[in-house]
């Protein structure tokens, strides 16, 4: 067991019960010219965390611990994309439309794929999810139960949407949740800060947050 100096207090890491979940590090969200950028966002903020996520990913691989990659995407016929999601707002492109990297957030399209620097390797789980949270309409709960996982380390994007949603889902299911705070990002820096403040408030009401370097030290003590 490794002790991590986390917010709001130390996190007791139990590696044999821990998995890493990397949320939605997809080309359409992270790379220049992708869907995120067409919505007027600065994708460079998200792209900047790729090296840190890669270090965290490498640390879990070297420790031989489970890694789960998620992708937010939909079936080509959009049968798993409710109109309330597709029609929200007034973007220039919507889910399913032809974008710079293929059809937006559609399974199998280039933009829905994980960035090459973080490409999954054999044995790692790739989980396609139709919603913000990784537990909704996916087998994630069963996968974690089969592996006897009770602690989850999170990285990925965006902090306030899919990362936070999945952490809250996990918290409700009894998992101890730790966010690698320099391995997550938002298009809006104030949203990232507010999210981390919220999840760590009131005695880690949703979970803990710590620097990637401290998590890696605890993994390899």
How many other CB atoms are there within 10 angstroms of residue 74's CB atom? 24
How far is the C-alpha of 121 from the C-alpha of 196, rounded, in Å?
30
* Active-site option among 73, 81, 129, 176: 129
Query: Catalytic one among 162, 176, 182, 192?
Result: 162
Q: Which residue has the tokens 């965390």?
A: 49
**Catalytic residue at 73?**
no
Distance CA 111, CA 88 (A): 20
Closest CA to 47 of 33, 69, 58, 32: 32
Is 85 designated active site?
Answer: no
Rounded Cα gap, residues 94 and 65, in angstroms: 37
The H or E element spanning position 157 is strand 151-157
Our CA angle for 208, 168, 200, nearest 5°, is 25
Nearest to 211 by CA among 14, 45, 4, 30: 4
Q: Is 174 exposed, middle or buried (0-12, 13-18, 19+ CB in 10 A)?
A: exposed
* Cα Rg, the chain, nearest whole Å: 17
Instruction: Supply 101's token pair.
Output: 């990297």
- 80 assigned to active site: no
* Catalytic machinery residues: 24, 129, 162
């Amino acid at each position: 067991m490794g002790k991590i100096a986390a917010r709001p207090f130390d996190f007791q890491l139990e590696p044999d019960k821990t998995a890493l979940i990397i949320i939605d590090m997809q080309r359409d969200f992270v790379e220049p010219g992708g869907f995120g950028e067409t919505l007027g966002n600065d994708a460079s903020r998200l792209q900047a965390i790729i090296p840190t996520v890669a270090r965290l990913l490498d640390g879990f691989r070297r420790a031989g611990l489970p890694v789960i990659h998620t992708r937010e995407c939909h079936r080509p016929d959009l049968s798993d994309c409710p109109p309330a999601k597709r029609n929200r707002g007034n973007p220039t492109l919507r889910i399913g439309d032809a974008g710079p990297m293929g059809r937006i957030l559609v399974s199998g399209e280039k933009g829905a794929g994980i960035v090459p620097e973080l490409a999954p390797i054999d044995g790692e789980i790739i989980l396609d999810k139709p919603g913000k949270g990784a537990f909704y309409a996916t087998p994630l709960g069963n996968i974690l139960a089969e592996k006897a996982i009770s602690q989850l380390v999170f990285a990925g994007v965006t902090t306030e949407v899919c990362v936070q949603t999945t952490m809250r889902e996990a918290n409700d299911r009894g998992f101890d949740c730790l966010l690698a705070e320099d391995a997550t990002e938002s298009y809006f820096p104030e949203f990232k800060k507010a999210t981390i403040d919220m999840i760590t408030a009131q005695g880690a009401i949703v979970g803990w947050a710590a620097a990637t370097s401290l998590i890696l030290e605890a993994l390899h003590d």
